Structure 1
Amino acid sequence: MSAYSVLLALHSWSRWLVIVFGLIAIYRAYVGWTGRRRFVGADNGMGASFVGSIHLQVLLGLGLYFGLSPWGLNAMKQAGAMKDPTARFFGMEHVAVMLLAAVLAQVGRSLSKKASDDTLKHKKAFTFFGIALLLVLLMIPWGIWNPARPLFRF
């Protein structure tokens, strides 16, 4: 098994951590915001888990993009890469939007921790985490509006 296969499998499987932690963090933020609940350690922990899992994904993805993947930076160096939908998606669109999602999740976590009251903390977390997870879901290669890839790699 090559280093590319291992890194690709890790990147593929860890997306599920991002989705699960993101859904839980968004749910907790929404319930806390609308129910005017206290912002407790579990809320902070779920936000940290969501952001941490996105950061892990970014590190794995950048390892693929800059080093091992034939669809990353290497594909973008080829003439006509922008005319090839798969090369353009993995070489530019996927990486740019996923980096934006990671930044938004991190900003949301920072702003929610610094907010003055608990309701505002939940609202900021819900807003930023929601946008970040939506971007992630849009850029996962499900095969609906972007190139299809396996949901589980072995």
Structure 2
Amino acid sequence: MYQVLLFLHSWLRWFVIGAGLLAVFKAYAGWSGNRPFTKGDNAVTAAFSGFMWLQVIVGLGLYFGVSPWGLNGLKQYGMHNTEARFFGVEHIAVMILAAILAQVGRIALKNAPTDTLKHKKAFIYLGIALLLVLLMIPWGIWNPYRPVFQGL
């Protein structure tokens, strides 16, 4: 079960990153170009938020269930182990915060009175959420390294 969830969690990140980049790019283009907020813009922001929450659910399955680095890692290695601390505290906390920001951004843009303001809110909220995601993926630069494509 661990390998299945790890594979899903690893590969789903590319959907999160792709949808996030597209959403932020479209939001910036719409905001700077004073374009109307279309159904396509709404769909991209919904996809980013949806992929984020799906990723959180799979990640929580790893954290509370089968991963040696989630809650189990904290129990076994403690907070002094940087890898256990990263996956047991930092990664999960910041990723949940990013998913919440993406969702709050969706709500905020729906309540915005003008299309320009919708694009602006989408750019800010989704941009910060995407930045947090990119910072907390274990690339091996400032956090533990994990393979870019798990399961290959």
Shorter-chain TM-score range: over 0.9
Structure-2 residue corresponding to 1:15: 13
Q: Residue by residue, what CA displacement relative to the aligned partner does 1:100-132 show, whole Å, maximum 9, x if unpaired?
A: 000000000110111010000000000000000
Equivalent of 1:70, from 52, 68, 71? 68
- The residue type equivalent to 2:95 in the other structure is M
Look up the match of 2:110: 113
Runs of 4+ with >4 A deviation: none
CA positional deviation for 1:77: 2.1
CA offsets 1:39-97 (integer angstroms, 9 cap, x no match): 0000000000000000110000000000010101112223x511100000000000000
| Aligned residue number for residue 124 of structure 1 | 121
- In the aligned structure 1, how far is the partner of 2:10 from the partner of 2:42? 26
After superposition, what is the alpha-carbon deviation per residue over 1:129-153, rounded to whole angstroms, capped at 9, x for unaligned?
0000000000000000000000001
Partner residue in 1 for 2:3: 5
RMSD: 0.7
TM-score (norm 1): 0.96
Letter in structure 2 aligned against 1:91:
G
Residue type of the alignment partner of 2:127 = G
In 2, distance between residues paired with 1:119 and 1:75?
46
Q: In the comparison of the two structures, how many residue pairs are matched?
A: 151
1:60 equivalent in structure 2: 58
- The TM-score, its normalising length taken from structure 2, stands at 0.98
Work out the CA distance in 2 between the residues paired with 1:86 and 1:76. 9
Alignment partners' CA distance in 1, 2:144 and 2:74? 16
